[in-house]
Amino acid sequence: MKLTAEQVTVRAQQRTILDNASVTLEPGELVGLIGPNGAGKSTLLRSIIGSLPYSTGRVDLDGTPIMALTARQRARALAYLPQDRHVEWPLPSRAVVALGRYPHASGVGPAQPSDSEAVDRAMAAVGAAALADRSATVLSGGELTRVLLARALAVEAPLLLADEPIAGLDPFHQLHVMEILRATAHGGAGVLAVLHDLPLAMRFMDRVVLMHEGAVVANGTPGEVLTDENLERVYRVTARRGSADGVAYVLPWSRVG
């Protein structure tokens, strides 16, 4: 299943938040959506999942306009992990993850075995099987992120959109979540993740899409996009570079101007 967002424009209060932004996502690839604060990354994700109306442009799934699908079809095709990591009630973690099966369940009646297997798989994928009975409201930031990521994985959608999945996590959990995203992509899903961490984007992403002031300004491999010129123009920083284990890394070093 291929996702195509073409020339999406969003205006709010006479301001253009998204300016002809285009992005594609295919199964098996891990794509980073990067850019400074306010560049329109979250807005683009919200337009794609249909929670934000856009004035012009189109979002297609395999050539079908996404708004022509039913809410349930859309939910089965696109899993979405929002930035908001609030769980309202002290639900057991497993019940939180099981909500990912919402678009699959028919309604009343006990959960299908296939549903509970999908929940088990998702919890195992994020290493949260041991958290199953813990209440989601007492988990640490890293644990909660993994449980909510498992919730998104439990949808078993061909495409996953994650809004800043590693924000606020310590390095250990950042690496852990990045590895989970990579494993998800290798498992055949297309993953689009909003990211602020340039070194991790450089290391883990198959492709990065760079946004600036509502527009997509670069799209390609991390090496092609995270050039000194782009970093200086878009992020207003200079960077130090190096390589370790044969992999190039980039480190934002100082502000420009």
Query: Under rule CB under 8 A, which residues in 30-49 are in contact with another protein?
Result: 46, 49
| Smaller CB separation from another protein, 103 or 222 | 103
99 contacts another protein (rule: CB under 8 A) = yes
State the Cα torsion 63-64-66-68 to the nearest 10°.
160
What tokens does 241 get?
């570079």
103 contacts another protein (rule: CB under 8 A) = yes
86 contacts another protein (rule: CB under 8 A) = yes
Stretch that binds another protein, among 17-25, 91-99, 216-224, 225-233 (CB under 8 A): 91-99
Which of 86, 84, 83 is CA-nearest to residue 33? 83
Place of tokens 């570079």: 241
The residues facing 3 across adjacent strands are 25, 61
153 contacts another protein (rule: CB under 8 A) = no
102 contacts another protein (rule: CB under 8 A) = yes
The residues facing 31 across adjacent strands are 192, 207
Contacts of residue 97, defined as CB under 8 A and 6 or more positions apart, other chains included, come to: 119, 122, 123, 128, 147, 150, 151, 154
CB of 57 to another protein, least distance (A): 20
CB of 114 to another protein, least distance (A): 17
Rounded to 5 degrees, what angle do the CA atoms 170, 47, 160 make? 50
CB of 89 to another protein, least distance (A): 4
Which residues of this chain interact with another protein, rule CB under 8 A? 46, 49-51, 70-72, 74-76, 78-80, 82, 84, 86-92, 95-96, 99-100, 102-103, 105, 107, 135, 148, 151, 155
